[in-house]
């Protein structure tokens, strides 16, 4: 079972970008830890990041075509990209799991972060646990696959 951990814009700056909000771990740390957490859960994990909406949409199409589940941190696209939502909807409507993830808790931040266009089509959401949000999302996904 393969899980794509997909990350949107500015998340390549993790560790450098506003560490008081997003923590000190980097995308390279997520690549390494994600693979390790996945292996413990019996999942093959592929961690990717892009600043480009079209690339992210393409990866979601790839998930559908290759039958991979998805952990998605859409970053700022969360709040306004209907293209991303429509692509993410194809994942869940095709019977695959998609967990929306955020390092911070967007609900406790600026009002423009309170609405997610992705949440309504996601299997579920994990937010507010920093780097650990990704580990919790993978664990939740693995548990749900066992049902
Ligand atoms: C984020 C929250 C978003 O509001 C923000 O635009 C991000 C990161 C998070 O992981 O907390 O880039 O998705």
Strand positions, DSSP E, the chain: 2-7, 44-49, 69-73, 98-102, 124-127
Ligand 1 in reach of 106 Cβ (< 6 A)? yes
Residue 147, pLDDT > 90, answer: no
Note the pLDDT of residue 90: 98
Enumerate the domain spans of the chain: 2-146
**pTM of this structure:** 0.97
Cα–ligand 1 centroid distance for 76 (angstroms): 6
Q: Is any atom of ligand 1 closer than 6 Å to the C-beta of 78?
A: yes
What are the tens digits of pLDDT across the range 59-99?
A: 999 999 999 999 999 999 999 999 999 999 999 999 999 99
Q: Three-state SS across the chain?
A: CEEEEEECCCHHHCCCCCHHHHCCCCHHHHHHHHHHHHHHHCCEEEEEECCCHHHHHHHHHHHHHHCCEEEEECHHHHHCCHHHHHHHHHHHHCCCCEEEEECCCHHHCCHHHCCCCCHHHCCEEEECCCCHHHHHHHHHHHHHHHC
- Cα(79) to centroid of ligand 1, in Å? 9
pLDDT (tens digit per residue) in 18-69: 898 988 999 999 999 999 999 999 999 999 999 999 999 999 999 999 999 9
Choosing from 75, 128, 132, 133 the residue with most ligand 1 atoms within 8 A of its CB, the one to mutate for a pocket test is 75
Q: Looking at the domain that runs over 2-146, which CATH code has it been given?
A: 3.40.50.9100
For ligand 1, atom 1, which residue shows the shortest CA distance? 75
| CA 50 centroid distance within chain | 12
Q: What is the mean pLDDT of the chain?
A: 97
Report the SS3 class of residue 23.
Answer: coil
Q: Using the mean position of ligand 1's atoms as its centre, give its distance from the Cα of residue 29 in Å.
A: 18
Atom of ligand 1 nearest to the CA of 77: 6
Contacts of 87 (CB under 8 A, 6+ apart): 56, 57, 60, 61
DSSP letter at 98 equals E
Q: Give yes or no: 22 in active site.
A: yes
Q: Is 115 a known active-site residue?
A: no
Strand order in the sheet with 69-73: 44-49, 2-7, 69-73, 98-102, 124-127
In the prediction, which pLDDT does 1 show?
Answer: 96
């Amino acid at each position: 079972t393969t899980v794509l951990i997909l990350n949107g814009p500015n998340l390549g700056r993790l560790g450098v970008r506003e560490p008081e909000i997003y923590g000190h771990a980097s995308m390279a740390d997520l690549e390494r830890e994600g693979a390790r957490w996945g292996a413990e859960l019996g999942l093959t994990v592929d961690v990717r990041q892009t600043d480009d909406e079209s690339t992210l949409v393409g990866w979601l199409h790839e998930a559908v075509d290759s039958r991979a589940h998805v952990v998605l941190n859409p970053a700022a696209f969360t709040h306004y990209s209907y293209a991303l939502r429509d692509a993410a909807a194809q994942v869940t409507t095709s019977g695959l799991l998609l967990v929306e993830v955020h390092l911070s808790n967007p609900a406790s931040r600026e009002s423009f972060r309170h609405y997610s266009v992705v949440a309504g089509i996601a299997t579920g959401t994990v937010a507010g646990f920093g780097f650990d949000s990704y580990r919790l999302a993978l664990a939740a996904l693995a548990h749900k696959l066992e049902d």
